[in-house]
Structure 1
Amino acid sequence: MQIQQWLMAKPEAQLDYPFGPDPAVFKVQGKIFALLFRQGDTDCVNLKCDPQQAIGLRDLFAAVTPGYHMNKRHWNTVKLDGTVPDGELQRMLDHSYTLVVRGLRLAERRGLEARHGRSALYGSEA
């Protein structure tokens, strides 16, 4: 699945299964930035999101809803049904990763920046 490849391509991304075989949990420095799971017959991903942006994305895309089993103000669930363009999905993934990296302790963040560079961590949000 392409989204799993995108998630694992993020600097120092780690895949974990702390809740059993589902969901696949993607972390950076021990902090979750994405959860990949099945809901019925549909693959879904939970991604962290700025609260204002989260509302806008939910209004724009029917496949984007408040985060399933997450803080609904800060997380969205995206149904991977093909209705969200790949470019937008990747942008949402990058945004989630960036928000989590920015929330890390300063020493952790600086270590990541030293190893990978700011643009690899923050992309266009640098």
Structure 2
Amino acid sequence: MEAPGVLVRQVRKRRSTAEKRLIVEQALEPGASVARVARAHGLNANVVFNWRRLYSDGKLVVEAPQAMKLLPVSVEEHEVVEPPPEEVVTPSYGSIHIELRGKVRISVEGHADPAAIRAVLEVLRG
């Protein structure tokens, strides 16, 4: 129960354009009373009259959601050619230590490319 002299503030409900159009169209039906339609929706009749004016001016338009655009597609049959399986090389991990005369030491840690090691050894030999 409300205390005497206390004002209760009502929160205004925002209506979508679609809701406004529906209410206006109900008020435009033959024999419909704008006051009754407004009261049924918890509105003041002046609000519905204002919406009717917007409706008749074409300003109460519901925008359609943007439709998806379809692109033309054509399906062609092609023979599927499987590529030959690639040679699988498993990486080798570990370490290689090479000692040459003359205090030359070579250490290779982790994955070693055989071609690179061969090139290094050929340079050292020469």
Report the TM-score, using the length of structure 2 for normalisation: 0.21
Report the TM-score, using the length of structure 1 for normalisation: 0.21
Q: Highest CA radius of gyration, 1 or 2?
A: 2
**Which structure has more strand as a fraction of its residues?**
1
**Which structure has more helix as a fraction of its residues?**
1
Higher relative contact order (CA 8 A, sep 6+): 1
